Structure 1
Amino acid sequence: MNWDDLRVFLAVARTESLSGAGRQLKIDPATVGRRIARLEEGLGAPLFAKSPQGYELTRDGGRLLAHAEAAEQAVSLGLDDLSGDGDEQLKGVIRIGAPDGCANYVLPRVVARIAEEHPELEVQIIAQPRLFSLSKREVDLYVSVSPPSSGRLLVQKITDYHLSLAGMRWYLRQHEDITTREDLKRHKLVGYVPDLIFDKELDYLEEIGASEADYTSNSVSVQLNMIRAGLGVGVVHDFCLPYVNRMERVLPEDVRLKRAFYLVRHADDRKVERLSRFSEVLCQSMREVVEHLEREA
C-alpha cells in the first residue's frame, strides 16, 4: 500500500463518487476506479459498496479511513516542517469556506492584503449558504456565524459585525415614511427563504418586529440586489453598504443587529504550522477589513 493509493481512497470516501474524486484529484474517474480496485485487491477486502447515493464505505473501509486520515495528517506535518525551515512566507493552496456575504464582500479584500505579504500562497474562497464538512476536507477551514457545538474542531472568534435595515434612497422617497417599526407593515420586506436558513443567527425578522419576508433568497448577494432593484427594504450587513451607492439605513437608531464570525478548523490540524499561521493572519485581516468597511458605511 502506498500513500498515493490512500489519497485516492480518501477522495472517494469524502466525495462518495468516482467522478467527484476524479475532479478533486484531477484524474480520470476510470483511473480512480482502477486504483480503488487495486487497493481492495491488495488488502483482500471490499472498501466501498455502491448504492443509489454513491459509494458508501464498508465496515473495512471505515476502519481504513481512520488510518488513512492519520497518514494524511503525518504527510501534511512532514511537508509543513520541510517547507518551513525559517521561511516566513506562506505557500501552496489553502481553501476557505464562508457564508456568501462574507465570501463576497469581506474575504476578497482580506485575501488581497494577504497576497501582498505572501505572493506564493493561493487562497481558494468557497462561497456557500450552508455548513461545510472538514472531515470530508471540502475546505481546510471555514468561517461560521455561530460556533459549532459538536465535533473535533478548533473554534476561535474572529470579530463582531453589524447589520442594519436598509433601502434605496429613491425607493424610500417614493414610498411611505418609515419612522417606527410599525411602519414596516406598509412596506415589502426582503429576507431569507425560511426553510433554507441554515443557522439560527441568520433569522433576523423577529428582531426587527416582522413575521415574514415578501421577497426571499438563500443568498445575501441576491437579497442585496433585490433591495437595490427597489423590491423593498431588508436587513443588510453594514460591511456591504459601501458597495452600493445610494443605499441608506432605515431606523438607524432603533434597528442595528450584532453578530460574530468564527473560524473553524479540524482538531487534527492543530499542529499544522502553515494553517495555524494562515489562521492568525486571516483573523487579523478580517477584523481590520470589517472595521474599515463598517466605518465607510
Structure 2
Amino acid sequence: MENWNDLKLVLAIARAGTLGGGATALGVNHSTAFRRLNTLEEKLGVRLFERLPGGVYQTTTEGERVATTAERVETEADALSREVGGRDQRLTGALRVTSSETLAYSVLTEQLARFREAHPGIVVELVVDNRVLSLSRREADIALRVTRPKEPDLFGRKLADIAWAIYGAPSLGPLDDIAGRDFIGWGAEVTGIAAADWLGETIEPRHIVYRANSLINQFTAAKAGIGYAVLPCYLGDIEPGLVRAGAGPVIELTRELWIVTHADLKKTARVRAFFDIVGDGLVAQSSLFSGHRTA
C-alpha cells in the first residue's frame, strides 16, 4: 500500500458504498476505478470488497482495515494542509466556497463581484451544493450554511435570520386561506427539509399539484402560476413576478445564515478578506433575509 492513491480509492468506495460513487468522488470514470481496484486486490492477494446485488460494494474485514487506515492518513494530511495553509498571508490564490443554490442564485453573486473587485488576485471557486460539505476534509475553505456550526473545530459568524413565506404569481390573486389552494411541493423522497415537512403537515396531498427537488425550480414554477410555493424571503421578495401571499413569514420556518470556516484557516488572509467583504455585505442585507424589506 505504498501508493496513497490506492488508499484514497478504497476509502472513496467504502464511503460511497458503490464503485460508481467512489469513482465520482475521485473524479475518475467507472472503468478506471474498476481496473485500479482489481489491480490492487490482485497485488495484495485479498478481496477488499464484496460485490453485492444492485452494484453495492461492501468492505470485507481486510477492506475495512485498509479504509480505516486510509481515513487516518487523510485526517493527518488534511490537518497538515490546514496548518500550512493557515499561515498563508497572501491575497492571491484559490478560495473554495460552498453555498446553497438559492443563495448563489440571488444575493451572493453581487457580493462575490465586490470581493473580486477588491481582490482580483484571488480566484473564487463556488461549489453550489445543498449538502453540508466537510471543512475538515477541505471539501471547501468557507461555507455559507443555514445552521449554526456544532463541530468544535469550526469557526463561524452569524450573518442574519432567514425568513420563509408563501409566494405566488399575481394572477393567482390574494391568499386569504390556504385551504383548497394549489401548492408546489418537494419530491416524496426529500427528507430533513423544514419547508418540505411543513407542507406535508399543512397542505393536503391532493393539493400538491407539482413537485420538484430543486427550490429554484419551485421558484420558477411559482412564477409560471402553477401554484403557491414556500420560499426564502431573500429569493421571493426580490422577484417582481411573485407576490408574498398570506399574513407574513411562516415563523416556524425561520433559520439562521452563518459563514463558517475551519478554525485552522480563520487567520488566512484570503479567508479573513472573504469574511470581511462578503460576510459584511450579507449582513447589510439582513432586512431582506429576515423578510422585513420587499422589492
Scaled by the length of structure 2, the TM-score of the pair is: 0.70
Contact 1:76 1:272 in 2 (8 A): no
| 2-structure distance, mates of 1:89, 1:287 | 23
Contact 1:92 1:122 in 2 (8 A): yes
Distance of aligned partners of 1:80 and 1:255 in 2 relative to their CA distance in 1, 3 Å threshold: closer
Contact 1:190 1:215 in 2 (8 A): yes
| 2-structure distance, mates of 1:79, 1:153 | 15
- Give the 5 Å matches for 1:95-174: 96=98, 98=100, 100-116=101-117, 117=119, 119-128=121-130, 131-132=131-132, 134=134, 139-140=139-140, 145=146, 159-172=160-173
Pick which of 277-286 and 221-230 moved more: 277-286
Structure 1 residue 237: deviation in Å? 1.6
Partner of 1:191: 185
Partner of 1:232: 227
What amino acid does structure 2 have at the position aligned with 1:185?
A
Pick which of 279-288 and 12-21 moved more: 279-288
Contact 2:162 2:257 in 1 (8 A): no
- 1:67-114 residue CA offsets vs partner (Å, 9 max, x unmatched): 21222232233334445544243644636363x433433444454444
- Give the 5 Å matches for 1:23-102: 23-41=24-42, 43-52=44-53, 53-83=55-85, 85-89=87-91, 91-92=93-94, 94=96, 96=98, 98=100, 100-102=101-103
What 5-or-longer segments of structure 1 have no aligned partner?
none
Distance of aligned partners of 1:291 and 1:6 in 2 relative to their CA distance in 1, 3 Å threshold: farther
Equivalent pairs: percent with the same residue?
21
Contact 1:47 1:58 in 2 (8 A): yes
| 1-structure distance, mates of 2:69, 2:85 | 24
Distance of aligned partners of 1:200 and 1:238 in 2 relative to their CA distance in 1, 3 Å threshold: closer
- Give the 5 Å matches for 1:6-17: 6-17=7-18
| 2-structure distance, mates of 1:202, 1:4 | 40
Residue 65 of structure 2 aligns to a residue whose secondary structure is helix
Distance of aligned partners of 1:195 and 1:144 in 2 relative to their CA distance in 1, 3 Å threshold: farther
Distance of aligned partners of 1:167 and 1:6 in 2 relative to their CA distance in 1, 3 Å threshold: same
Distance of aligned partners of 1:133 and 1:249 in 2 relative to their CA distance in 1, 3 Å threshold: closer
Distance of aligned partners of 1:199 and 1:165 in 2 relative to their CA distance in 1, 3 Å threshold: closer
| 2-structure distance, mates of 1:40, 1:186 | 60
Contact 2:9 2:33 in 1 (8 A): yes
Structure 1 residue 238: deviation in Å? 0.9
Distance of aligned partners of 1:230 and 1:35 in 2 relative to their CA distance in 1, 3 Å threshold: closer
| 2-structure distance, mates of 1:185, 1:30 | 53
Scaled by the length of structure 1, the TM-score of the pair is: 0.70
Distance of aligned partners of 1:41 and 1:95 in 2 relative to their CA distance in 1, 3 Å threshold: farther
Structure 1 residue 200: deviation in Å? 3.5
Aligned residues: 282
| 1-structure distance, mates of 2:197, 2:107 | 21
| 2-structure distance, mates of 1:262, 1:42 | 49
Distance of aligned partners of 1:284 and 1:85 in 2 relative to their CA distance in 1, 3 Å threshold: same
RMSD over equivalenced CA pairs, Å: 4.3
What 5-or-longer segments of structure 2 have no aligned partner?
none
Contact 1:153 1:264 in 2 (8 A): no
| 2-structure distance, mates of 1:285, 1:67 | 43
What amino acid does structure 1 have at the position aligned with 2:197?
D
* 2:254 is equivalent to residue 259 of structure 1: yes
